[in-house]
Structure formats: structure tokens, C-alpha cells
Structure 1
Amino acid sequence: MPCTSELSRSQEYLSFRSSVPLRKIVVDADGTKGWKVYDSSPKTVKCPLVCLPPVSGTADIYFRQILGLAAKGYRVISAEPPVYWNVKEWCDGFRKLLDYMELDKVHIFGASLGGFLAQKFAESNSHCPRVVSLILCNTFTDTSVFSYNESATVFWILPSLILKRMLMGNFSSDKVDGEIIDAIDFMVERLESLTQPELASRLTMNCVNCYVEPQKICHLPVTIMDVFDEYALSNGVREEMYKCYPNAKLAHLKSGGNFPYLSRSAEVNLHLQIHLRQFEGTEYAASEKIKI
């Protein structure tokens, strides 16, 4: 597929692709489920920041976090899952990925579906914690907020075109600036690259009835990051997030649309550093001090 978006052609993105290799890590016994992973240095950091994409995202959507934070000594991993049809399967797969990468503990930055799955993973491992902290961006705690609950069980047979159309409705916006338009173009390109099973499985997890039990994880350090311009979720969903995590730190961005990690990467990266700063000097530090 030819890359037509501004961001795909940018020097910054091309430099990312040439300097950070894409790995495919197969974690299941029958050898079919391969995670796509970008892993920045330094590998000596044993409690990195792992970024999880939304439904329409691929692992490279966090290239500005990987480049920006790696330059400051942080180890950032972006992990894109293979096809999983339910949350339990996904959590098992993610745990195997962490085992394979020899990561006992991680910080997770998740956007939209990625944020929901980050919470579910922390919850499913609460008896033997693997997640040190969470940064949750434009995300939710309960899938019943989506209007496709009833039809989610048939996503697996719907053609790609219909699935893509369902998502495209959330992308468009009138009152946006050039950076948000560039971010949307880049994400549309990523969406176009996904196969029918990839898209159907992610939408199924996004929409089949499921909710987070925050009482199991609300003791974790949490930062809730959200934007105050137009994005796909309602204010009610945002308020519910605040209620579930009353002690969370709030990182508000005045604007940024659905994909602020692309459109407002400097602000997002600053908030990520502020969140991770509390772990500096401990065994859960996500960075090594850069020697000057």
C-alpha cells in the first residue's frame, strides 16, 4: 500500500522506521499468534513503558513517543496484538509476550481499546501484579457505552469495508487544525492496512459486554489523559473514568482529537515523563540516566 499521508512521508517517521526494527514475536504453542513489537533501547531497563494501540492502530502509531522518550533515556515498547477474540485470550497472550521479553513489571500507556485492555490486564494479574502503573488516554471502563453491543457477536463475518466504515465515522471532525488532520490521515492509512480478522477481533473485544473492576486496581498509580475538543467518547464516559479512579492524576490537553499521541506528541510525551518521574531511582524506573 503506498504511503500517502504527510506523517508517513515525514523525515521523523522514516528515521524511526530505519532506526527501530519491527519484531514479530510468536507466543502461542501452535506458532500462529505473532505480536508486532517496536522496542527502543536501552534494553538494560527492566520496567519499560509499553504502549497499546486503539482498534484502528498499528504498533507504529507511537513512533513519536518511542523517538521522543528514547532520546531521554526511556525504554518504550509499542506492542500490536495478533488476532484475539476475547479479553481473556488477549490478556493471556500479553502475559506470554512479557514473559518472552523477560519483563516482570511494566508501565502501560493505552489509548481507547488499548487503555481498556491495559486495565483488564492489570485486573487479571492483581493476585501477582505485573503492572506498576497505568496512563489511560481517551479510554473507558465499560464497553456498554458503545452502540454495537447487540451486533458485536457477528463482527467476525462482516466484510472489512463495513467494519472500516463503522470506525471512520469517529475520525472526521470539522473544527480541526493541520496536525489533527495529519494524525487522522495517518490513522486512516493504518486502518486500511488491517486485515478483516484483525479488525473484526478488535471491534469484538471493544464492543462485547465487559467492564473493568476498578476496586482491584485503583491502588495503582494512574494518570488519566484526555482532550477537551471533539473525540469519539462522550463526557459521561470521561466522568465515569474519574469516578473509578478518584486518586488518579489528570493530564488534560486542551485539544488533540482522537489521536493526541500523534497530533500533540510533545504534550503527551511531557505528561508521560511527569507520570514516570515518580519511579526514578527505584527498581521500577522506566529510564536510564543519559550520560552527557
Structure 2
Amino acid sequence: MTQHQGIICQKNTPCVILLPGFAETPDSLFRIALRLMDRGIRAVTVRYPVYHTVSELLVGMEQFIETLGASSISIVGIDVGAYIGQLYSEQRSHKVSALLLINPIPSGHYREMCTTFRHAGLMPEFVIKRAALSRLPQYVREDVVPYIDFLADRIDRLGRAEMVAQVRYTSDPSCVLGSGPSLASKRVMIAATLDHPDNMEPIETLHAKLFPRVSVTPIQTGSTFPHLVHPDEIEMLLLTLLRRHGLDTSFKANLWQGGDKASMAGAAEGERETQAEDAPAPLETKTEGEGEAEAEA
């Protein structure tokens, strides 16, 4: 069992790791995290630390997951987060019970798409913003605009070293998908937004090579931000995947040690407002609710 600020979770409690997309911070996944926590599911959003290679990042991710004390984890990854989640699942398939890939990309896709990556060390903010915003369609729906502003604000809060590291993670030639065993098809779900400007070819390529038995679930709108625009759909897809694998996603009385529904509701509320002092290393995690919970390596 693992304990954070007096809240004790059983090891069989579903634990979901949320990996944000390119040029995104953990804040972009707060809507999904809150929905999952309201169901009694442990939701952990990750802030990518600064490493020199993806291999080092995966080692750090392994150490971080060990500190969670969960017997198994489920991973939700958005574009680059999906790529990192797949690499981890190939190396530690016995620890990953389910893998939800949203707008996944193959390795090096951003380098091919944005020729200015060669200048990442000199102008990382320019490179990241151009790569992130160039994925938007020519005409953006009005309800998506606030989320674009939100993303731009988050980018402004990234440090220079973090920006360079994010670019490095998307173009590291040393890690190639398919080099290890893939998860069984029943443990994988792929979702893609239909209004994403460059989705079809990369996702079809990934789908055909790695998961030929997994069909792509369409999300009508959301462009590159379906997790912000449609968190309810993402939650539904994840719960479907977890139930398919036999995990109980109901909010049960034995989920939190203690008992009745009132105490469980208080525990869930406390989890949202708790700042974990025994921070997992070496990754940073951040969960948001009415307050913020932040752990640093």
C-alpha cells in the first residue's frame, strides 16, 4: 500500500499515468485527471524533466513509477506522450495494463514537419510554438480558441532547458517504435481527431505496423487538443479500455481505507488538494483540483 498525506490507497486501485503532448504541461490534462479522481482512480499527470536522450527519460519514468507502489498502471498519452508511452510499454509490458493513444505520432515526425528544429538550441521557444501551432487547421472553431491561448500561456512558463529537452524527445533517433514486443491488442486503444491537420498518414502507418488488430476510434472535433475540448470522450474511452481488461472502475467502499461514502468523498477531495511531500523522483507530477498538488524530483 502507498500513503500520501494520510490517504492510504490499496495497490489494486487503478492508477493512470497521463502523458501530455508536445509543448504541453501537466495543466493541460487537469480536466481528465479530475474526472478520473472523482471515480476513485489514481490519476497522475507528468511534467517531462530534462534529459539528454529518450532512453534516459524512460529510465527516469521507470524509477518514478516504482515509487507509486502500483502493481500495474494504465497510460494515456497525447501525440508525443503516446510515443513515450509506447516505448515504455515495449520495455515494461508486464507493468502496463492498458494503453490509450490519442493522436499518436511516429518517431521523428516533428523533425520532418518543422525544418527549424536545427535551431532549437538557439530559439527553443520559437521552434516549439511554431511546431505546436502549425498543427492547427487553417480555420479554427471558435470554442477551440480559448484552449489555444491556454496552450500558448503554458509554453511561456516552460524554461529554456525544458523546451530544448522536449524538442530532443521528439527527434531522438536512438529509440524506434517496434523494437520491443507490443502490448496485446485488447490492451490498446487508439483515438484520433478528425479535424487534426496531419493525423491520417502517421496514425495509419503506426496502426498498420504496430497494432494491426486495433481500429482507430474517431473523435469528431478537438484538433490537437481533444483532451481539453472533449475530456468526457477521453474519459469514456479510457474507462471502456480498463473495463475490457477486467479492471473495476466503480467508486467502491473499499477503495479508500475507512469505509462509508462520506469518508470516501472526503478522501477524494483531500487527494485533489494534497501536496505530496514524498515526491517521486526524478519526474515532476502535478494534479489540480480546487487546489494544486505538485511533486518535484
TM-score by length of 2: 0.74
Cα distance change, pair 161–154 in 1 and its aligned pair in 2 (3 A):
closer
**Aligned twin of 1:23:** none
* Structure 1 residue 236 corresponds to structure 2 residue 201: yes
Q: Kindly indicate whether residue 72 of structure 2 is the aligned counterpart of residue 105 of structure 1.
A: yes
Which of 138, 154, 163 is the aligned partner of 1:199?
163
Structure 2: give runs of 5+ residues left out of the alignment. Answer: 1-6, 254-259, 262-297
The verdict on how the C-alpha distance between 1:287 and 1:82 changes in structure 2, with shifts beyond 3 A counting, is farther
Distance (Å, rounded) in 2 between the aligned partners of 1:185 and 1:287: 35
Match of 1:274 in 2: 240
- Kindly tell me: are residues 133 and 163 of structure 1, through their superposed partners in 2, closer, same or farther at Cα, counting changes over 3 Å? same
Partner of 2:17: 50
Residues 144 and 189 of structure 1, relative CA distance in 2, 3 Å threshold: closer
Tell whether the 8 Å contact from 1:47 to 1:104 is kept in structure 2 after alignment.
no
Give the corresponding residue for 1:259: 225
- Whether 1:80 aligns to 2:47 is yes
Instruction: Report the 3-state secondary structure (helix = DSSP H, G, I; strand = E; otherwise coil) of the residue aligned with 1:108.
Output: strand
Q: Is the 8 Å Cα contact of residues 148 and 207 (structure 1) preserved in structure 2?
A: no
Q: Deviations over 1:97-152 (max 9, x none)?
A: 011221232000000110000011111224xx221110000112332564269875
- Select the residue among 4, 25, 33 that pairs with 1:66: 33
8 Å CA contact retained: 2:192, 2:219: yes
Asked if the contact 1:279/1:286 (under 8 Å) is kept, the reply is no
Deviation per residue, 1:152-183 (Å, 9 max, x gap): 5763x223343234324425434332332122
Contact 1:160 1:195 (8 Å CA) reproduced: no
CA distance in 1, matches of 2:150, 2:9: 29
Report if the CA contact (8 A) 1:106-1:130 is conserved. Answer: yes
**Structure 1 pair 266/234, CA: closer, same or farther in 2 (3 Å)?**
closer
| Distance in 1 (alpha carbons) for counterparts of 2:250 and 2:19 | 19
Q: How does 1:167-178 map to 2 (within 5 A)?
A: 167-170=131-134, 172-178=136-142
Whether 1:213 aligns to 2:197 is no
Distance verdict in 2 for CA 1:162–1:115, change over 3 Å: same
What residue ranges of structure 1 are gaps of 5+ in the alignment? 1-40
Q: Which moved more, 1:215-224 or 1:61-70?
A: 215-224
- CA deviations on 1:212-241 (whole Å, 9 max, x unpaired) are 01761142510001110134x342101112
Does structure 2 retain, via aligned residues, the 8 Å contact 1:47–1:286? yes
Q: Separation in 2 of the partners of 1:132 and 1:52? A: 16
Structure 1-normalised TM-score? 0.75
1:28 matched residue in structure 2: none
Task: Give aligned pairs, total.
Answer: 247
Q: 1: distance between equivalents of 2:55 and 2:65?
A: 15
In the alignment, is the contact (CA less than 8 A) between 2:14 and 2:41 conserved in 1?
no
Percent of pairs identical after alignment?
20
Give me the whole-angstrom Cα distance separating, in 2, the residues matched to 1:150 and 1:216: 32
C-alpha distance 203-149 of structure 1, shift in aligned 2 (>3 A): same
